Structure 1
Amino acid sequence: MKRKIISSVVLACTFLLQTAACSSPEESARSHLQKGKELFEKGEFDKALLELKTASQSSDKFGETYLYMALLDEKNNNFKSMRQNLIRALELEPSLTSAKIKLGKLDIVFGDLEKALEQAESVLTSDSSNIDAKMIKASVYIKQLKKDQAAEIVDFVLKDSPDNVEALSLQAALFAEKNEIDQALGAVNKALGVQPANLSLRLFKIKLDAGLNNIDSVIKGYQELIQLYPDAGNFKLSLASIYSMTDKLEEAERLLREMVEKSNDKVEPEIVLFEFLNARAKDRVIPEYKAMLNRHQGQPKVLLELSKWMVASGYAETGKEGLEQVVQLEKNNEAGLSAQVILAEIALTEKQFSAVESSLKDILSINSELIQANLLKGRFLLAQNKTDEAIEFLNKLVWNKTNVDDVYSLLGDAYLIKQDRKQAEKSFKQALEVNPANLAAFSRVYSNYVQAGQNENARQYLEKALSLKQNDILLLTSKAELDILEKKWDGAQESIQRLALFSKDKAMPIYLQANVLQGKGKYAEAISLYDKLIQQYPNHLNSLINLVKSYEALGQRENAVAYLEKLHVKYPDQLNTVGVLSDIYIANNDFVKTKKVLTDQLKHTPKAASIYLALARVEAMMNKNISSAKDVYLRGLEVNPNDPQLAMALAALYEQLNEKENAIRVYKAVLDKNPDNNLAINNLASLLIESNSHDEISKGMELAKVFKDSENSYFQDTYAWALIKAGSNEEGLKLLQSLILKEPKLPEFRYHLGVAHMNAGNKATAISELKQSISLSEKQKRNFYGKDNAKKILEEIEN
């Protein structure tokens, strides 16, 4: 018996050894690959991936292994990994046509158009009738704006395969490019007949219907998408936006409530509902909030988020109810402490400093590391004007790894208080590196880029922020405005639809929609929307201006005049209407009518400073003499003695009339009442610097010192010129040289630089700069203070 057992073991071992020897790594890999393919076809993707990975580890010789791994990546939308796997598949098996097709399509997505063409041509070399390869070529040609070549391929494919969905999609895109929307819709509808659930086609159809302003079709399109994809919340949001834009508020609310009911206690859909009610039915926000407090009793984290929204949206008193509930439930746990911090923040806004100090002491004694409490401490220090102490404290907080974006943002605010703009901008950008959706930091950085005309940089920050906060009003408005500026109408339209759902300013989405229509040349439709806005908000200046521009584009200025005259009769006290009407009268060179409408307006609104400013301009134009404006400014200041605009205009006029002492007197009076008026500081400093009195030059120098670190080139030039006039020529010269790099075409800067070089003994450079200042002045057809002196210096040097 013992020998039999041993014998069986030996035989079994021999069999196993023989089997192992026969199964090579390649055969093992092929076996696992086959199993992986079979599992993939059955939809068992996780198991398939395990088999495919085992296959690649057994033998890295089969391109098909990586092809199927790429197909699994495609299922998971992991396109970067998919691309790498396809490249590897073709390295191992260059003849894999399906891999080439997949890679070619991915190359288009990644923007590598030439590589996509290479893949297509490679397939067509061995299979000249391959439709997928032809479609890749057509898609590339469309991207390269070679529309005729693309159309030729599409037509050829559709001739043999009239139901080819990809070809029909490209045909629709080509029609849309030519603004042949009806034909584009025909092609899309035909393609949808073949593939009714094709998401990209359905979205494209909605976009085309929106372009035709066919709202009923857009609504139907979203309704069908919701039926096909019931769990996709974005489609419901989009449909709710359309309902909101078309005043179908009940339908919009019904959809949002459905999302809340299906949210499984997620707070986001409830916040969306709040945003909608806040924009469209403000009186229902508080009752809704109280109902949600009852619904979420015993859920402190949900209560905390809802209450935070209430406080941030201007319902602080009501929001306290939820915060106090959270404190009762959580005591001194994380959520409870967070609620206590928000209650203390409310006290800070109400300037209850002793309450804030007491709360901070209690909270920090429990958890000294709580970042929200430390941030509040920083804000408290700033509120008490302890800026340096706040900066020191916040710089220490930076090392805490939580909510560091808020720390950087608050640091930026602190540096702005100290007028250190460079350090402030650096802090705001650091905040956005941590959290692109930090709205306080975003507002600062984004607006700076837009003002500087650096739209690409602005868009990068905007898109990162929107990826995290897609329903934020500030971000949606910024995107719509930027898209309109850059004529990206589809993107603007999407943002406007979302804005219609959430914007508390009901005028904003309508105004932006009118902007889009105006930009696309649909002036009559734009006028209709601007009129709708003006009827609700008669003093909406931008709508008035754009309505006139739209009439002008249609060659109907007389209609614009008639519209404004009628509106003025209906709303005689609306100053913006008068301003736009007077501008259009001036454009017609009808100064008599302009003067009459402005003079009559002063009978209705005798203290309207803007009317005096406009009337002064008209008097100067009618009399062809700027001194005619003086009496108007003086009359305006009699009834508006503290108006800085009128005073600044009068001072500037005195400068033009060479009445320097009067100008100095008025600028000083402005600064007595408005000591932070930088323009008045600059203009007064400039006048004093040009004086022959050493005492006045010194006073001008003292004033100009505030511009030492200014970002305004004109103000910095004033400071540089003050340095030169005060005897600090080397420092002034260095500053001017840096300014010229930023503003090379300003004759005043060139003149000042020429004088600085002359003082430094750089005669040749001085001559060059002075000549450039005069040349630039003549090219630009404008004089500058110092031009005569520049000519005089050149004559003296050259003679």
Structure 2
Amino acid sequence: MTVLAGALAVCLSSSAHADSVKASRFYEDALKRFERRDVDGAIIQLKNALQQDARLLSVHVLLGKALLSRSEAAAAEIEFNEALQLGINRAEVAVPLAQALVAQGKQADVFKLAVLNPDGLPDATRQALLLVRAGAASDLGDAPRAQALVDDARALNANAPEAWVAEVPLRVRARQFDRADVAADRALQLAPNNAEALYQKATIAHVQGRLDEALRGYDRVLAVDSRHLEAQLARLGILVDQGRQEPAQAALQALLKQAPTEPRALYLSAVLAERRGDGPAASNALKAVTTQLDPVPLDYIRYRPQALMLNGLAHYGLGEPLKAKPYLEYAQRVQPNSPLSKLLAQVYAAEPNLDRASEVLETYLKAFPGDSQALVMMASLQMAQGRHGRATALMQEALRGRDAPEFHTALGLSLIRGGQIGSAADELEKAFQRDPGQTYAGLSLATLYLRNGQPAKAVAVADRLVKQQPGNPSVWMMQGAARQANKDIAGARQSFQQALQVDGRLAEPQLGLARLDIIERQFDAAQARLDTLLRVDERQVDALYEMALLSEARGQPAEVQRWLSKAVDASTPRQTRADQALVAWLLRQDQPGAALEAARRLLGKVPDDLQAMITYARVQLANRDTAGAKATLNSAARRSGFDPQPLVDIAALQLAAKDPTGAAYSLDKALSSAPQHVPALALSATVALQQGNPVQAEKQARQVISLQPTRAVGHLLLADVFQARHQPAQALEALRKAHEVEPTSGSLLALMRALSHQDGGGKAAAELAERWLQARPGDVAAWKALGDTQARAGSFTSARKSYDAALRLRPNDAETLNNQANVLLKLGEATAALPLADKALALEPRNALVIDTAGWAHHLAGNGERALQLLRDARLREPGNPEIRYHLAAALAQAGRKTEAREELDAALKNRAFGSVKEAQALGQTLR
């Protein structure tokens, strides 16, 4: 870096740090305002914070809660989703996000969204979410499910009054007033001054027509919480019904002062105005109602019949029957079961009953012809019904009548389209052996060999093609590609140049030569070739794509994205290579949201394409949409042929989506056509272990060893089997064997882990790594593993040296930077740790552990504001990590926020096994 560039980097870093400090100050002020119910002031300060630093998790969460308290549910949902996108732990936002969805009439989404699955959440959060779900189920008309959810919530903590309060409206809806009373009374026994429990108790009397008793009940609520909106509204409604004009008017004025735009209050204002003969005031109040409710989408209030009726009556009162009609109809309408048709079609397709699935979708599309999801499903079903199985059967029948090479070629090609790659290769080999003039068979066979990682066989086929047809540039191009895959760069260059000699107008040989220039780091030569092609055609997709590869080789990330985007724009609907590359690039650049948009465009172009579906699922997982990824992968597995490798790719993603059953289906399908496919066997053994079947896993692991005795993979699988059976000695022996037959970094690390567990201190593991590194000092992974082992053993000085060695080899490794920073902190060198921690943070800004290290380093270095901001962020991402919560407690204590510090420390000390437990206990003594 030049001096000028270095100075600029320092300036930019300082500016970003200053913005971050400003943002932290705005947040702390907003938090204080929110705590004293100055919601408007809090929102202003939070928006100020976001102008300084839009990535602060704590700001998005508090802003969402503030907006939700102000009934701005859609805006709140955006903030909670932004926090999730930035990496917050879902436990921090699950409940308010669910509340925001319910407030918008998105009750069904509360059950669909993966982030709102109660499983795996802390008990308190899980209970609160179950109660929100209960309300949503009740809105959807599923009373049994709603009560079951309340029961599930109560099972977590029967002494939580909220779990009893939630039952009351369910019992009232079912007209089970005695049971409603029991639930309300139980809640009040647990919390006599709980405003919500008092309110629900009063509603029971109200619904039964005991109005005086209900009034007294609402008065008790307001004595506890004078701002309880629902109690004020209910009390006002009774006063209006009783014709008590003066007290009703006084109650209305107080209510409108607190909530001037509340539609129910405005409607009651119209009723009171009409009763006193003030027509203009009544009309103005009704207009105010429609002004509030008309902009709200019907979907937001479809489970709020009171709001629907209110707006319908308001429009009717204003003499607008056409506007009133949809609201009044919608209030009475039974919710259509529209999503069921699509779900049912998926079920039929899985059976598979494709004809019935098509019938269901056809019926649905008659009612909803513009449903893009249903149209995509219908298109995929039609293609599924037009698979090439019939063509394969016909060609097999033809071969029985006449054993001709061209028939073998046709059969091989149909098998490829059906995904039966092994059988396809057999047929193409027969065709090419019998007639080398079968060019298409030869080219397809060479392509199959390249796909299967057999470049030497591909070269042999290409050489025969070139000998047979030296005037065909396509066979020279195939030879060049095969030689390149076989690491013969000089030979590949000769083949591409020969193709140009045959036809100098072709772009493909120039592109091949440009790729070789990039491999050999002859960047200017590659640039010249590609510029020439783009001058002829600026939308030459392959040249644009190669420009992106050239930019990546030159270390120009912004240019990579620009060239890939241009290639995508120039691609035809069936050209997807640039789309795939753009998605992969965006994922590598940690831009999952942008990758999702690119993947959607890709799938929109080729909804039937298996690789597009696999890519889309991978991006869904990167965006934490596990449920969506499962659905995409299940569909891909069903629609896939029998080519084992795509099925292995699908199964690996299904495991990542925590769907071992789906993975087992995919792998069974792969092994049915290729029973000796090692990657499928290996992954199938892993799945068998996850499903609790070590016998099957061992059988497949030993099969892998027999097929590839000089590879480590089978022995590593066998070690997993022994570990699952709690046989550490046998597992260790299998790991030693794996490292013996294939001594790699991977087998070394696996053996080191096992040795560390066996001897506790890790001495044997460290000695193994040291011997390895004497012969291979450039192995970064081994240096890192050695450093980790030494750090766990408390040998921080040795660990420091090992991490230094790793960083000399790979200076921008975020994990090593983070670990080295932690070691330096353990050695009491916070000043030295700080730049390493900040560098790791710049490389991994979403990693909670990296954020925590940086925050702790800033705390120990005396940078309190920056420390507090970072540690709040880390805690929101991993609230279950006691070390992080202790660090945050220490920072809060230093900032004078002792109450909040005690809360964090109490949460941390629920786990007594973390590294800083003694320090945490000592801090607790100072906070008493």
Q: What TM-score, normalized by structure 1, do the two folds share?
A: 0.52
Letter in 1 for 2:669: E
Are 1:378 and 1:390, in contact at CA under 8 Å, matched by a contact in 2?
Answer: yes
Deviation at 1:345, TM superposition (A): 1.6
Corresponding residue number in structure 1 for 2:536: 366
Counterparts of 1:462 and 1:423 in 2: how far apart (Å)? 19
Deviation at 1:700, TM superposition (A): 1.4
**Is 2:823 the counterpart of 1:699?**
no
Corresponding residue number in structure 1 for 2:516: 346
**Is 2:402 the counterpart of 1:271?**
no
Deviation string, structure 1 residues 506-531 (Cα, Å, up to 9, x no partner): 63345456667878888777655543
Letter in 1 for 2:926: E
Counterparts of 2:645 and 2:419 in 1: how far apart (Å)? 19
Deviation string, structure 1 residues 526-576 (Cα, Å, up to 9, x no partner): 6555434323433544422444666899x9989x969979x999x994378
Deviation at 1:421, TM superposition (A): 5.2
**Is 2:667 the counterpart of 1:492?**
yes
**Is 2:710 the counterpart of 1:543?**
no
> Unaligned 5+ residue runs, structure 1?
1-105, 117-131, 141-198, 204-218, 581-607
Q: Secondary structure at the match of 1:495?
A: helix
Letter in 2 for 1:495: A
Counterparts of 1:673 and 1:321 in 2: how far apart (Å)? 35
Corresponding residue number in structure 1 for 2:459: 286
Counterparts of 1:350 and 1:721 in 2: how far apart (Å)? 45
Corresponding residue number in structure 2 for 1:32: none
Kindly report which structure 2 residues correspond to 1:452-463, keeping only aligned pairs within 5 A, or say none.
Answer: 456-458=627-629
Kindly report which structure 2 residues correspond to 1:50-449, keeping only aligned pairs within 5 A, or say none.
Answer: 110-112=342-344, 236=415, 241=420, 253-254=429-430, 270-271=443-444, 274-275=447-448, 279=452, 284-292=457-465, 306=478, 310=482, 313-314=485-486, 323=496, 327=500, 331-332=504-505, 336-388=506-558, 390=560, 400=570, 425=595, 429=599, 432-433=602-603
Counterparts of 1:649 and 1:520 in 2: how far apart (Å)? 30
Letter in 2 for 1:697: A
Counterparts of 1:680 and 1:232 in 2: how far apart (Å)? 53
Corresponding residue number in structure 2 for 1:574: 741
Deviation string, structure 1 residues 634-660 (Cα, Å, up to 9, x no partner): 777777777666655665565556555
> Unaligned 5+ residue runs, structure 2?
1-337, 361-384, 402-406
Are 1:304 and 1:339, in contact at CA under 8 Å, matched by a contact in 2?
Answer: no
- Sort the Cα spacing of 1:493 and 1:753 in 2 relative to 1 into closer, same or farther, 3 A: same
Counterparts of 2:905 and 2:726 in 1: how far apart (Å)? 48
Letter in 1 for 2:840: F
Kindly report which structure 2 residues correspond to 1:372-771, keeping only aligned pairs within 5 A, or say none.
Answer: 372-388=542-558, 390=560, 400=570, 425=595, 429=599, 432-433=602-603, 456-458=627-629, 475-482=646-653, 486-488=660-662, 489-497=664-672, 507-511=678-682, 527=698, 529-547=700-718, 573-574=740-741, 618-620=758-760, 648=784, 651-652=787-788, 655=791, 660-689=796-825, 696-709=829-842, 710=844, 711-771=846-906
Letter in 2 for 1:286: V
Are 2:614 and 2:636, in contact at CA under 8 Å, matched by a contact in 1?
Answer: no
- Sort the Cα spacing of 1:685 and 1:666 in 2 relative to 1 into closer, same or farther, 3 A: same
Are 2:583 and 2:598, in contact at CA under 8 Å, matched by a contact in 1?
Answer: yes
- Sort the Cα spacing of 1:492 and 1:220 in 2 relative to 1 into closer, same or farther, 3 A: farther
Are 2:463 and 2:479, in contact at CA under 8 Å, matched by a contact in 1?
Answer: no
Counterparts of 1:250 and 1:269 in 2: how far apart (Å)? 12
Counterparts of 1:226 and 1:342 in 2: how far apart (Å)? 38
Per mean C-alpha deviation after superposition, the further-off stretch among 472-481 and 441-450 is: 441-450
Q: Secondary structure at the match of 1:722?
A: helix
Deviation at 1:440, TM superposition (A): 10
How many pairs were matched up?
Answer: 541
Deviation at 1:377, TM superposition (A): 2.8
Are 2:681 and 2:700, in contact at CA under 8 Å, matched by a contact in 1?
Answer: yes
Q: Secondary structure at the match of 1:783?
A: coil
Deviation at 1:702, TM superposition (A): 0.7
- Sort the Cα spacing of 1:434 and 1:471 in 2 relative to 1 into closer, same or farther, 3 A: farther
- Sort the Cα spacing of 1:754 and 1:398 in 2 relative to 1 into closer, same or farther, 3 A: same
Per mean C-alpha deviation after superposition, the further-off stretch among 488-497 and 745-754 is: 488-497
Deviation string, structure 1 residues 134-167 (Cα, Å, up to 9, x no partner): x99xx99xxxxxxxxxxxxxxxxxxxxxxxxxxx
Q: Secondary structure at the match of 2:892?
A: helix
Are 1:723 and 1:731, in contact at CA under 8 Å, matched by a contact in 2?
Answer: yes
Counterparts of 2:736 and 2:781 in 1: how far apart (Å)? 25
Are 1:348 and 1:356, in contact at CA under 8 Å, matched by a contact in 2?
Answer: yes
Corresponding residue number in structure 2 for 1:783: 914
Counterparts of 2:830 and 2:453 in 1: how far apart (Å)? 59
Counterparts of 1:413 and 1:280 in 2: how far apart (Å)? 22
Counterparts of 2:571 and 2:426 in 1: how far apart (Å)? 45
Deviation at 1:701, TM superposition (A): 1.4
- Sort the Cα spacing of 1:348 and 1:330 in 2 relative to 1 into closer, same or farther, 3 A: same
Counterparts of 1:658 and 1:415 in 2: how far apart (Å)? 39
Kindly report which structure 2 residues correspond to 1:36-47, keeping only aligned pairs within 5 A, or say none.
Answer: none
Counterparts of 2:576 and 2:860 in 1: how far apart (Å)? 45
Deviation at 1:353, TM superposition (A): 3.6
Deviation at 1:716, TM superposition (A): 1.7
Q: Secondary structure at the match of 1:708?
A: helix
Per mean C-alpha deviation after superposition, the further-off stretch among 725-734 and 757-766 is: 725-734
Corresponding residue number in structure 2 for 1:585: none
Deviation at 1:719, TM superposition (A): 1.5
Corresponding residue number in structure 1 for 2:367: none
Deviation at 1:669, TM superposition (A): 4.6
- Sort the Cα spacing of 1:536 and 1:449 in 2 relative to 1 into closer, same or farther, 3 A: same
Are 1:774 and 1:790, in contact at CA under 8 Å, matched by a contact in 2?
Answer: yes
- Sort the Cα spacing of 1:320 and 1:476 in 2 relative to 1 into closer, same or farther, 3 A: farther
Corresponding residue number in structure 1 for 2:922: 792
Supply the RMSD in Å over aligned alpha carbons. 6.1
Are 2:787 and 2:800, in contact at CA under 8 Å, matched by a contact in 1?
Answer: yes
Are 2:660 and 2:691, in contact at CA under 8 Å, matched by a contact in 1?
Answer: no
Deviation at 1:769, TM superposition (A): 0.4
Counterparts of 2:449 and 2:769 in 1: how far apart (Å)? 47
| Structure with the larger RCO, 1 or 2 (CA within 8 Å, 6+ apart) | 2
Letter in 1 for 2:542: Q
Letter in 1 for 2:923: I
Counterparts of 2:412 and 2:768 in 1: how far apart (Å)? 61
Counterparts of 2:693 and 2:432 in 1: how far apart (Å)? 33
Deviation string, structure 1 residues 764-792 (Cα, Å, up to 9, x no partner): 111100110111x23xxx2222x223222
Letter in 2 for 1:362: T
Letter in 2 for 1:686: N
Are 1:436 and 1:461, in contact at CA under 8 Å, matched by a contact in 2?
Answer: no
Deviation at 1:741, TM superposition (A): 3.0
Counterparts of 1:115 and 1:650 in 2: how far apart (Å)? 51
Q: What TM-score, normalized by structure 2, do the two folds share?
A: 0.46
Counterparts of 2:557 and 2:795 in 1: how far apart (Å)? 42
Are 2:596 and 2:620, in contact at CA under 8 Å, matched by a contact in 1?
Answer: no
Are 2:864 and 2:895, in contact at CA under 8 Å, matched by a contact in 1?
Answer: yes
Are 1:256 and 1:273, in contact at CA under 8 Å, matched by a contact in 2?
Answer: no
